[in-house]
């Protein structure tokens, strides 16, 4: 924040008119210092380097928007990013917070005054989401991760359970921790790893992790019953 307590806001919106209108409305609050900018990383980076920001508002919920949120999180982790959306599907919520957003604001459900409150909250280091969105995030966290492993021709190589084992190993879990996570015995996990090694043509956990990084992609996964 500025020395006078003002919150520095940058509005990044591919719609020029909408971007200008939103920036003008936010300037109506005396403690907001607002700038509108182009919807691309280069312009945004130059602006953030030259004048800084406390909060960036990113409008939209498509692939390019999430990429911008992710870039902001990696390049400027000190800045809070809020995604502005007209509607909010479960996957949009999960993807936004995975990308590093600190809040989601839905114009279809909330008045403008709540957007101002959202900006104040995230500028203070808080998270902005409603109870429904929080449940979406918690549901995603409770799922067992899975890594879809494919060969050079794009063919899936492992079963759903084997993909879960690979994902947990790639996250750094020991055999015992993988067993506890999946509700299986240590002996069963060792058998899974031997089968996975054989299918992928690797012989160590290090080789398995490297293979997963280069040939794997995260996918939605559901809990599988604890069985061999």
Give me the helices (H) in 112-221, please: 112-123, 131-142, 160-170, 175-182, 186-200, 205-215
Instruction: Name the residue with tokens 């936010």.
Output: 26
Same fold flag, 7-140 and 143-219 = no
Q: State yes or no: pLDDT of 21 exceeds 80.
A: yes
Q: What is the pLDDT of residues 140-189, one digit of tens each?
A: 665 555 666 666 666 777 888 888 888 888 888 899 988 988 889 999 99
Phi-psi region of 188 (alpha: psi -120 to 50; beta: other; left: phi over 0): alpha
Residue 223: per-residue pLDDT: 45
Contact 73, 27 (CB under 8 A): no
Q: Which CATH architecture has domain 143-219?
A: Orthogonal Bundle (1.10)
Q: Which residues contact 194 (CB under 8 A, 6 or more apart)?
A: none
Fold of the CATH domain 7-140: Rossmann fold (3.40.50)
3-class DSSP state of 212: helix
Q: How far apart are CA 183 and CA 163, in angstroms?
A: 15
pLDDT value at residue 137: 80
**To the nearest 5 percent, what fractions of the chain are helix, strand and coil?**
50, 15, 35
Residue 190 binned pLDDT confidence (cut-offs 50, 70, 90): very high
Spatial CA neighbour of 101 closest among 131, 80, 118: 80
Residue boundaries of the structural domains of the chain: 7-140, 143-219
What's the CA gap between 104 and 85, in Å, rounded?
A: 7
Mean pLDDT, range 103-129, rounded to an integer: 92
């Amino acid at each position: 924040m500025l020395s006078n307590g003002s919150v520095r806001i940058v509005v990044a919106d591919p719609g020029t008119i909408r971007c200008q209108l939103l920036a003008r409305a936010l300037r109506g609050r005396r403690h907001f210092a607002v700038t509108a900018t182009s919807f691309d990383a280069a312009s945004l980076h130059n602006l953030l380097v030259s004048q800084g920001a406390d909060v960036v508002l990113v409008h939209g919920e498509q692939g390019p928007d999430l990429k911008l949120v992710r870039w902001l999180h990696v390049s400027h982790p000190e800045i809070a990013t809020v995604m502005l959306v007209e509607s909010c599907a479960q996957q949009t919520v999960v993807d936004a917070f995975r990308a590093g957003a600190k809040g989601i604001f839905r114009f279809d459900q909330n008045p403008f005054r709540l957007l101002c409150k959202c900006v104040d909250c995230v500028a203070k280091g808080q998270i902005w989401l409603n109870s429904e969105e929080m449940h979406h995030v918690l549901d995603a966290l409770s799922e067992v991760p899975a890594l879809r492993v494919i060969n050079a021709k794009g063919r899936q190589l492992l079963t759903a359970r084997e993909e879960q084992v690979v994902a947990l190993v790639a996250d750094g879990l020991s055999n015992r921790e993988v067993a506890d996570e999946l509700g299986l015995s240590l002996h069963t996990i060792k058998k899974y790893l031997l089968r996975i090694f054989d299918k992928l043509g690797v012989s160590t956990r290090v080789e398995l992790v490297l293979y997963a990084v280069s040939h794997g992609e995260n996918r939605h996964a559901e809990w599988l019953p604890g069985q061999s």
